[in-house]
Amino acid sequence: MVSRVKKLEALNNFTKLVGDDSVLAYLMGFLTGQVDRVHFVRDPAGADISLKLSQKRFTVWPGEPFKANVGGVIMPHPIAFVRAVGQAHGSRQICVSLNFERADETEWYQEVLIPDVSYVQQGVEAAEHEAKALRKEMDHALDIYAECKRLLEISGSERKGELDYYMSVAQNQMKLLSSKLEEVGVQLRQYQEN
Protein backbone atom coordinates (compact mmCIF):
# COMPACT_ATOMS: atom_id res chain seq x y z
CA MET A 1 0.00 0.00 0.00
CA VAL A 2 1.27 3.47 -0.89
CA SER A 3 1.92 5.74 2.07
CA ARG A 4 -0.26 8.75 2.75
CA VAL A 5 2.82 11.00 2.85
CA LYS A 6 3.90 9.93 -0.66
CA LYS A 7 0.40 10.52 -2.02
CA LEU A 8 0.29 13.99 -0.45
CA GLU A 9 3.68 14.76 -1.99
CA ALA A 10 2.42 13.68 -5.43
CA LEU A 11 -0.72 15.80 -5.11
CA ASN A 12 1.35 18.79 -4.00
CA ASN A 13 3.81 18.39 -6.87
CA PHE A 14 1.07 18.07 -9.48
CA THR A 15 -0.70 21.11 -7.99
CA LYS A 16 2.47 23.10 -8.73
CA LEU A 17 2.16 22.01 -12.37
CA VAL A 18 -1.42 23.29 -12.60
CA GLY A 19 -0.91 26.32 -10.35
CA ASP A 20 -1.99 28.82 -13.01
CA ASP A 21 -5.35 27.06 -13.45
CA SER A 22 -7.48 27.95 -10.42
CA VAL A 23 -10.16 25.32 -11.11
CA LEU A 24 -7.61 22.50 -11.34
CA ALA A 25 -5.83 23.85 -8.26
CA TYR A 26 -9.21 23.70 -6.45
CA LEU A 27 -9.64 20.11 -7.65
CA MET A 28 -6.18 19.17 -6.39
CA GLY A 29 -7.00 20.75 -3.02
CA PHE A 30 -10.15 18.62 -2.85
CA LEU A 31 -8.15 15.48 -3.67
CA THR A 32 -5.66 16.39 -0.95
CA GLY A 33 -8.55 16.44 1.51
CA GLN A 34 -9.60 12.99 0.25
CA VAL A 35 -6.05 11.57 0.18
CA ASP A 36 -6.97 8.30 1.92
CA ARG A 37 -9.43 7.53 -0.90
CA VAL A 38 -7.05 8.59 -3.71
CA HIS A 39 -5.03 5.98 -5.61
CA PHE A 40 -2.77 6.84 -8.54
CA VAL A 41 -3.17 4.32 -11.34
CA ARG A 42 -1.71 3.96 -14.81
CA ASP A 43 -5.09 3.01 -16.18
CA PRO A 44 -8.26 3.99 -14.28
CA ALA A 45 -10.51 1.91 -16.57
CA GLY A 46 -13.16 0.10 -14.56
CA ALA A 47 -12.94 2.37 -11.54
CA ASP A 48 -16.12 3.45 -9.80
CA ILE A 49 -14.67 6.97 -9.56
CA SER A 50 -11.97 7.82 -12.09
CA LEU A 51 -10.12 10.99 -12.92
CA LYS A 52 -7.61 11.67 -15.69
CA LEU A 53 -5.68 14.92 -15.66
CA SER A 54 -3.28 15.99 -18.38
CA GLN A 55 -0.72 18.78 -18.39
CA LYS A 56 1.12 17.78 -21.58
CA ARG A 57 1.21 21.08 -23.42
CA PHE A 58 4.19 20.63 -25.68
CA THR A 59 3.16 17.52 -27.59
CA VAL A 60 1.83 17.31 -31.11
CA TRP A 61 -1.43 15.84 -29.80
CA PRO A 62 -2.02 17.17 -26.27
CA GLY A 63 -4.19 15.09 -23.96
CA GLU A 64 -7.63 16.07 -22.77
CA PRO A 65 -6.91 18.24 -19.67
CA PHE A 66 -9.79 16.80 -17.60
CA LYS A 67 -11.74 13.56 -17.92
CA ALA A 68 -13.75 12.13 -15.05
CA ASN A 69 -16.39 9.55 -14.29
CA VAL A 70 -18.39 9.00 -11.09
CA GLY A 71 -20.46 5.82 -10.94
CA GLY A 72 -20.68 5.60 -14.73
CA VAL A 73 -21.64 9.26 -15.19
CA ILE A 74 -19.21 11.43 -17.13
CA MET A 75 -18.38 14.63 -15.28
CA PRO A 76 -18.20 17.67 -17.57
CA HIS A 77 -16.14 19.89 -15.26
CA PRO A 78 -13.90 19.64 -12.16
CA ILE A 79 -16.49 21.43 -10.00
CA ALA A 80 -19.16 18.87 -10.98
CA PHE A 81 -16.66 16.10 -10.16
CA VAL A 82 -15.96 17.57 -6.70
CA ARG A 83 -19.69 17.91 -6.00
CA ALA A 84 -20.45 14.32 -7.10
CA VAL A 85 -17.53 12.78 -5.19
CA GLY A 86 -18.34 14.88 -2.13
CA GLN A 87 -21.82 13.35 -2.07
CA ALA A 88 -20.54 9.80 -2.69
CA HIS A 89 -20.09 7.34 0.17
CA GLY A 90 -16.67 7.60 1.83
CA SER A 91 -15.79 3.99 1.00
CA ARG A 92 -15.80 4.68 -2.75
CA GLN A 93 -12.20 4.94 -3.92
CA ILE A 94 -10.91 7.62 -6.32
CA CYS A 95 -8.55 6.36 -9.04
CA VAL A 96 -6.43 9.14 -10.51
CA SER A 97 -4.22 9.06 -13.59
CA LEU A 98 -1.86 11.97 -14.22
CA ASN A 99 -0.39 12.74 -17.63
CA PHE A 100 2.42 15.30 -17.71
CA GLU A 101 5.82 15.87 -19.30
CA ARG A 102 8.28 13.11 -18.30
CA ALA A 103 5.75 11.37 -16.01
CA ASP A 104 7.48 8.03 -16.70
CA GLU A 105 10.77 9.45 -15.39
CA THR A 106 9.40 11.47 -12.46
CA GLU A 107 10.29 9.70 -9.22
CA TRP A 108 7.58 11.24 -7.00
CA TYR A 109 4.88 10.01 -9.41
CA GLN A 110 6.36 6.59 -10.06
CA GLU A 111 6.54 5.94 -6.28
CA VAL A 112 2.76 6.27 -5.90
CA LEU A 113 1.69 4.68 -9.18
CA ILE A 114 -0.04 1.30 -9.22
CA PRO A 115 -0.81 -0.58 -12.46
CA ASP A 116 -4.61 -0.60 -12.43
CA VAL A 117 -7.85 -0.51 -10.48
CA SER A 118 -7.68 -4.20 -9.51
CA TYR A 119 -4.85 -3.39 -7.08
CA VAL A 120 -7.13 -0.98 -5.21
CA GLN A 121 -10.00 -3.47 -5.14
CA GLN A 122 -7.71 -6.31 -4.05
CA GLY A 123 -6.31 -4.21 -1.21
CA VAL A 124 -9.76 -3.54 0.24
CA GLU A 125 -10.89 -7.14 -0.24
CA ALA A 126 -7.69 -8.54 1.31
CA ALA A 127 -8.04 -6.31 4.40
CA GLU A 128 -11.73 -7.23 4.79
CA HIS A 129 -10.91 -10.95 4.44
CA GLU A 130 -8.11 -10.70 7.01
CA ALA A 131 -10.41 -8.84 9.45
CA LYS A 132 -13.04 -11.57 9.07
CA ALA A 133 -10.47 -14.33 9.71
CA LEU A 134 -9.12 -12.53 12.79
CA ARG A 135 -12.64 -12.10 14.20
CA LYS A 136 -13.25 -15.82 13.70
CA GLU A 137 -10.02 -16.69 15.54
CA MET A 138 -10.95 -14.27 18.31
CA ASP A 139 -14.37 -15.93 18.68
CA HIS A 140 -12.64 -19.32 18.96
CA ALA A 141 -10.28 -18.06 21.68
CA LEU A 142 -13.24 -16.55 23.53
CA ASP A 143 -15.10 -19.89 23.30
CA ILE A 144 -12.07 -21.69 24.78
CA TYR A 145 -11.88 -19.16 27.61
CA ALA A 146 -15.61 -19.44 28.37
CA GLU A 147 -15.50 -23.26 28.31
CA CYS A 148 -12.49 -23.34 30.66
CA LYS A 149 -14.26 -20.98 33.02
CA ARG A 150 -17.38 -23.17 32.95
CA LEU A 151 -15.31 -26.32 33.63
CA LEU A 152 -13.50 -24.56 36.47
CA GLU A 153 -16.82 -23.82 38.17
CA ILE A 154 -17.97 -27.45 37.76
CA SER A 155 -14.76 -29.31 38.60
CA GLY A 156 -13.58 -27.17 41.49
CA SER A 157 -9.91 -27.18 42.48
CA GLU A 158 -8.76 -30.53 41.02
CA ARG A 159 -8.22 -29.08 37.48
CA LYS A 160 -7.67 -25.45 38.52
CA GLY A 161 -4.00 -25.27 37.45
CA GLU A 162 -4.67 -26.78 34.01
CA LEU A 163 -7.75 -24.66 33.35
CA ASP A 164 -6.09 -21.47 34.58
CA TYR A 165 -3.26 -22.16 32.13
CA TYR A 166 -5.66 -22.56 29.18
CA MET A 167 -7.61 -19.45 30.22
CA SER A 168 -4.34 -17.49 30.33
CA VAL A 169 -3.37 -18.76 26.87
CA ALA A 170 -6.81 -17.79 25.52
CA GLN A 171 -6.55 -14.31 27.06
CA ASN A 172 -3.10 -13.74 25.53
CA GLN A 173 -4.38 -14.96 22.17
CA MET A 174 -7.34 -12.55 22.33
CA LYS A 175 -5.00 -9.63 23.12
CA LEU A 176 -2.73 -10.52 20.21
CA LEU A 177 -5.65 -10.94 17.81
CA SER A 178 -7.20 -7.69 19.02
CA SER A 179 -3.95 -5.87 18.24
CA LYS A 180 -3.77 -7.41 14.76
CA LEU A 181 -7.43 -6.56 14.15
CA GLU A 182 -6.74 -2.96 15.09
CA GLU A 183 -3.90 -2.80 12.52
CA VAL A 184 -6.17 -4.20 9.81
CA GLY A 185 -8.84 -1.69 10.86
CA VAL A 186 -6.36 1.13 10.25
CA GLN A 187 -5.69 -0.25 6.75
CA LEU A 188 -9.41 -0.45 6.03
CA ARG A 189 -9.95 3.10 7.25
CA GLN A 190 -7.22 4.28 4.89
CA TYR A 191 -9.23 2.78 2.06
CA GLN A 192 -12.69 3.74 3.29
CA GLU A 193 -12.58 6.97 5.29
CA ASN A 194 -12.21 10.55 4.13
Question: In angstroms, rounded to a whole number, what is the distance separating the alpha carbons of residues 175 and 66?
Answer: 49
Residue boundaries of the structural domains of the chain: 4-111, 122-192
Pairing of β 66-70 and β 73-75: antiparallel
Instruction: Determine the pLDDT at residue 189.
Output: 67
The whole-number average pLDDT for the span 27-52 is 89
Name the class of domain 4-111.
alpha beta
Question: Residue 142 — very low, low, confident or very high, per pLDDT cuts 50/70/90?
Answer: very high
pTM of the model: 0.61
Question: Residue 169 — very low, low, confident or very high, per pLDDT cuts 50/70/90?
Answer: very high
Q: Is the pLDDT of residue 166 over 70?
A: yes
156 dihedral zone (left: phi>0; alpha: psi -120 to 50; beta):
left
User: Using alpha carbons only, what angle is made at residue 41 by residues 36 and 47, rounded to the nearest 5 degrees?
Assistant: 80
3-state helix, strand, coil in the chain (%, to 5): 60, 15, 25
| Angle formed by the axes of helices 160-192 and 117-155, nearest 10° | 160
pLDDT in tens, 66-87: 899 999 899 999 999 999 998 8
Q: Is the pLDDT of residue 22 over 70?
A: yes
The whole-number average pLDDT for the span 137-149 is 91
Residue from 34, 30, 28 nearest 10 by CA = 28
Question: In angstroms, rounded to a whole number, what is the distance separating the alpha carbons of residues 122 and 111?
Answer: 19
**Is the separation of the CB atoms in 44 and 97 below 8 Å?**
yes
Question: In angstroms, rounded to a whole number, what is the distance separating the alpha carbons of residues 15 and 8?
Answer: 10
